[in-house]
Amino acid sequence: MPVAVFEMPDGAEQVLDVPDDWSLMEAARRDGLEGIVAECGGGAICGTCHVQVDPRWYASLEAPGMMEEALLEVVPERCATSRLSCQVVMTPALDGIRVRVPSSQLEL
């Protein structure tokens, strides 16, 4: 099964199995990963599943939709490779993708 590597604010790394077609958020939630609150369950409206994608992986992702783009403007610790993890869907090409969980998300 493809995996995604989540880097936590303290530097620890968590390697999660992500079935094809599942979003990174769904995998993180199933593992109870701290910081991926996902309050809206993947509706792309709450912004509580924000991750910073490793720049080497960012270009492999499909571009964010308009709603996601707009939401990313208001999430804390936004960076150039920020994404909502509920909108990043696993494909074989993304096996091994690396993302960081922003520290502010642990305080939500």
Partner 1 sequence: MADLLSTHVAIIGTGHAGVECAWALRAAGFEGDIMLLGAEPHPPYERPPLSKGLLTGTTSADRIALRAGDTYEKQGIRYSADDPVASIDTAARLIHTQAGRRIAYQHCVLATGASARGIAGLAGDHVHAVRGLDDAHRLRDAIRPGHRLLIVGAGYLGLEAACSARKLGAEVCVLEQQRGVMAGKVSAPTAERMETLHRHAGIDIRHGVAVTGWQRTPDAWRASLACGGVVDGQQVLVSIGAVADTRLAEAAGLECRDGIVVDEQCRASAPGIYAIGDCASAYRAELQRHARVESVQNALMQARTAAAVIAGKRPPAAKPLTFWSEQHGRRLQMAGLVHPALPCDDHVHATAKGWLVERYQQGRLAALEAVDSPVEFIKGVPRIGTPPVHV
Please choose which of partner 1, ligand FES, none residue 29 contacts, taking the beta carbon within 5 to 8 angstroms, the exact cut-off set by kind: partner 1
| Cα 13 to the center of its chain, rounded Å | 14
* Of the candidate residues 15, 17, 43, 70, the single one contacting ligand FES (CB under 6 A): 43
Distance CA 105, CA 108 (A): 5
For residues 74 to 93, the per-residue mask of contacts with ligand FES, x marking binding by CB under 6 A and - elsewhere, is ----------x-x-------
Q: How far is the CB of 7 from ligand FES (least distance, A)?
A: 19
Distance CA 39, CA 28 (A): 13
Binding piece for ligand FES, criterion CB under 6 A, among 13-21, 44-52, 58-66, 91-99: 44-52
3-state SS assignment for residue 82:
strand
**Burial category of 88 from C-beta neighbours within 10 Å (exposed 0-12, middle 13-18, buried 19 and up):** buried
Q: How far is the CB of 62 from ligand FES (least distance, A)?
A: 16
Distance CA 77, CA 9 (A): 12
Q: Which residues bind ligand FES (CB under 6 A)?
A: 25, 38-40, 42-49, 84, 86
